[in-house]
Amino acid sequence: MAILRSLNSLRRVRSLVTGIRRRWLTRSGRIEIAPSASLSLSSRLIGRQPSAVIVGADTLIAFKTLILGYDATDNRDAPVRIGERCFIGGGSVILPGVKIGNEVIIGAGSVVFDDVPDRCIVAGNPARILRRDIVVGRFGRLEGADDNSRRLWKP
């Protein structure tokens, strides 16, 4: 019996499962996900019309995130747009009709009900802008994050 030596052993399985999920979400035409975007398996994207939720390139949507592409209270479609190089924190809720700009970080557990401009950090319930004019890389990683990781994890 083989013993799992590292979680990296499961990387191929995760890639396969997330790829299948991406195809299932996009097949209906309601959700558009850029090929370089990454979605957690526990995130939920809900829409009724074509292009109800659009996720830009190099964006990461973390675990237990809810993104609604329609308003059930008054039965109207309200598409959600998420820009490029964004990070949507775990447990966040993006309400119908919200447009999130490029290079945005949304803090964990935030409830976003209003549009978010480019290059800022928002958090809270309701989500408020905490910082503007940030510089991020792929998946919304702040500039200098790699240097901090290397410094903290030296053997």
Q: Model confidence over 94-119: pLDDT tens digits?
A: 999 999 999 999 999 999 999 999 99
Q: Report the pLDDT value the prediction gives residue 16, as an integer from 0 to 100.
A: 87
Residue 35 included in any domain? yes
pTM of structure? 0.85
User: Does 5 fall in a domain?
Assistant: no
Task: Indicate whether 58 belongs to any domain.
Answer: yes
Q: Is residue 6 part of a domain?
A: no
Confidence of residue 124 (pLDDT cuts 50, 70, 90): very high
Contact 16, 37 (CB under 8 A): no
- For residue 103 the two structure tokens come to 């290079």
Residue 7 lies in a domain: no
Tell me, yes or no, whether 51 lies in a domain: yes
pLDDT digits (tens, 9 = 90+) for 23-61: 888 887 889 999 999 999 899 999 888 889 999 999 999
Q: Above 70 in pLDDT, residue 10?
A: yes
Q: Residue 107 belongs to what domain range?
A: 13-152
Q: Is residue 138 part of a domain?
A: yes
Instruction: Evaluate whether residue 3 is within a structural domain.
Output: no
CATH of the domain at 28: 2.160.10.10
The number of domains in the chain is 1
pLDDT above 80 for 76: yes
